[in-house]
């Protein structure tokens, strides 16, 4: 694969999340470093960058809130931006048509939340025939409490997500692995 037939999808890396009751910034610095490295690496090789924003009727996720914009610590200059109202970035957004029009065969998925929109987008992309690299270290999530009362840490959730995606829907990759497999067209 080359940088020209691969696209980086940056899912829901938006200020809206800071207003969510489950927001936890404890893992934010490590995530931001890996997400920015992935964005910068994609830009350096000329890979198209797709920015996805979640928009719905929940106050911090409405366009009117002013929070549907990139996290302030992230520098991104996307080739295209899509808004979604469900978990998959490929439902009713125009993203699939854009990817096919550009000749994209492989997507690299990153963003917020690991087990929700990032995982769902990865599964959907795989089912549509795209090769998928899931860059777990460039995803962010938050602890969740099961109905039984058991708390699943962000690390528990990442491990579970890798388990269910690996070899079925995606290749689990580091930033360097996702970028390192690319050849740049002359």
pLDDT tens profile 18-38? 999 999 999 999 999 999 999
Structural domain boundaries enclosing 173: 3-142+156-180
In a domain, 147, yes or no: no
* Pairing state between β 151-152 and 144-145: antiparallel
Confidence at 8, pLDDT banded by 50, 70, 90: very high
Helix (H, G, I), strand (E, B) or coil at 104: coil
Which pTM does this prediction carry? 0.95
In a domain, 149, yes or no: no
- 121-149 mean pLDDT: 98
pLDDT of residue 2: 81
Total number of domains in the chain: 1
In a domain, 168, yes or no: yes
Which residues are CB-neighbours of 144 under 8 A, at least 6 positions away?
Answer: 22, 151, 152, 157
CATH, residue 97: 3.40.50.850
Helix (H, G, I), strand (E, B) or coil at 40: helix
75-84, 132-141, 176-185: which range is least confident on average? 176-185
Q: How many CB atoms lie within 10 A of CB 95?
A: 24
In a domain, 11, yes or no: yes
């Amino acid at each position: 694969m080359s940088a020209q037939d691969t696209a980086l999808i940056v899912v829901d890396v938006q200020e809206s999340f800071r207003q969510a009751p489950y927001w936890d910034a404890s893992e934010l610095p490590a995530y931001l470093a890996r997400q920015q490295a992935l964005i910068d690496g994609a830009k350096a090789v000329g890979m198209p960058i797709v920015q996805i924003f979640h928009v719905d009727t929940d106050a911090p996720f409405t366009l009117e809130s002013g929070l549907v914009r990139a996290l302030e610590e992230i520098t991104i200059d996307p080739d295209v931006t899509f808004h979604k109202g469900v978990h998959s970035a490929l439902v009713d957004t125009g993203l699939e048509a854009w990817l096919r029009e550009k000749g994209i065969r492989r997507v690299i998925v990153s963003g917020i939340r690991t087990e929700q929109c990032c995982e769902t987008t990865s599964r959907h992309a795989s089912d549509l025939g795209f090769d998928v690299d899931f860059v777990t270290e460039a995803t962010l999530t938050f602890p969740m409490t099961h109905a039984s009362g058991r708390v699943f840490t962000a690390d528990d959730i990442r491990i579970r997500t890798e388990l269910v995606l690996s070899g079925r829907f995606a290749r689990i990759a580091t930033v360097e692995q996702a970028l390192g497999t690319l050849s740049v067209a002359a």
